[in-house]
Amino acid sequence: MSAVLDVVNPFDQTKVGSVELSEWDDVDAMLGVAHTLYRNRDGWLPAYKRIEILKETARQMSGRAEELALLIASEGGKPLIDARVEVTRAIDGVELCIHEIGQMSGREIPMDLTEAGSGRIAFTQREPIGVVVAASAFNHPLNLIVHQVAPAVAAGCPVIVKPALDTPLSCEAFVDMLHHAGLPKDWCSFAACQNDVAEKMIIDPRVGFFSFIGSARVGWMLRSKLAPGTRCALEHGGAAPVIVDETADLDAVIPLLTKGSFYHSGQVCVSVQRVYAPSGMVAEVAQKLADAAAALKVGDARDPNVDCGPLIRPTEVDRVEQWVDEAVQAGATVLAGGKRLGPTTYAPTVLLNPAAEARVSIAEIFGPVVCIYGYDTIADAFDAANGLDFAFQSAVFTKNLDTAMQAIQRLDATAVMVNDHTAFRVDWMPFAGRRQSGYNTGGIGYTIHDMTQDKIAVIQL
């Protein structure tokens, strides 16, 4: 008999549901069936059928939008107002996959550029890459699944999805909707499983593409163990930097920094963590942000008036508390928060000038903590922003076009937001980490491209 995993609300630890855990024999069978489906080219799902399935899935999601939002808030602790936005984005993501199916086209390759190629015509087409295994994270329990699973369906790949064990219910609901929309069950399998089973699945040679969202330590380890030929995409995190210059309109800046810093209690891979402001105005920037942080309501994410919910596990509150305490002992000034509010919540926290070597300065805290630093020259700010081994999205606030263009050129990041926070994203833009922050590029269209491969046909006339 399969073990059953109880899923709890991270705020009060009450049970909100349960799922059956898959053992290796279950997953091995899933892989076998999925690999057989892929190898049987006559049985591949045609584009029109994939479009029909995804259209019906989006329709079902729209009809269950409030139910899905409450599920996100209940199992993941994301405030209801933000959970509703996540559902809307997830629906848009499915519809974007439908659009991208029509973009999966090849091109003519000119052959008569040399005498050796003359007398031939050639063209390419895109084919599914193989069985996709997707391992996901807890912080966007529906939208991340959509970003990993719906592109696989669009590309025509059989897919097995392993959700974060903290938040499997949204994933299970999405897979069920795909099945009810007409996707044969073997084309998308739900595999909630422990890490040892998941690793064995991921490194299996039957896997054509591995999609991972989670910690860098785990992601890079798994990549090193992939079977020869398995392609992958890794999405990790960072400690996103923001530069504020002396021309910035602080009345516009502070609300954006507040949202970017404390959205989902900082449990976002591109959450604002490091803010650099001119030495002459750093105290003002820090205090204004602290005032905004202090006004945020912390509590049960199911309460529509709550701005910041719990951290995903009580042990994460312990860790954040330890990191902040270390920073304060090393000289950081607490301007807001700096304390736990209960077993599962931590106050939105603003730290002024933590030490450069403090963990809050050099590692992703993944909690409701933002650090403010002073700088003397803009070049110093760029150097500090670029000083870590990982990089994802970054931002600059300025009214000076030269400064904006300089930031775009100088910041070592895959995205530079001008006059916006680092957590901004739309689902059709490229989304990727540099260096230790990730491998390959996310975004619906980019993911579908990675889950397909070119085939060329050359015809001698």
Q: Say if residues 90 and 169 touch (Cβ distance below 8 Å).
A: no
For the chain, what is the radius of gyration of the CA atoms? Answer: 23
Q: Say if residues 443 and 428 touch (Cβ distance below 8 Å).
A: yes
Selected catalytic residue, list 157, 171, 193, 269:
269
CB atoms within 10 A of CB 295: 11
Q: How far is CA 410 from CA 149, 395, 421, in A?
A: 35, 11, 17
Sheet of 438-439: strands edge to edge?
188-190, 159-162, 131-135, 207-213, 231-235, 438-439
Q: Say if residues 162 and 198 touch (Cβ distance below 8 Å).
A: yes
DSSP 23-88: -HHHHHHHHHHHHHHHH-GGGPPPHHHHHHHHHHHHHHHHHTHHHHHHHHHHHH---HHHHHHHHH
CA atoms within 13 A on the CB side of 443: 15
Q: Say if residues 214 and 162 touch (Cβ distance below 8 Å).
A: no
Which stretches within 118-168 are classed as H helix? Answer: 143-155
Which stretches within 184-281 are classed as H helix? Answer: 195-202, 216-225, 250-262
- For the chain, report the end-to-end CA distance as a whole number of angstroms: 62
- Tell me the C-alpha distance between 30 and 255, whole Å: 47
Selected catalytic residue, list 86, 100, 235, 316:
235
23 is catalytic: no
CB atoms within 10 A of CB 369: 27
Residue 413, strand partner residues: none
Q: Say if residues 324 and 311 touch (Cβ distance below 8 Å).
A: no
Residue 76 in tokens: 């993941």
Residue 373, strand partner residues: 276
188 is catalytic: no
- Tell me the C-alpha distance between 412 and 452, whole Å: 29
Q: Which residues are catalytic?
A: 235, 269
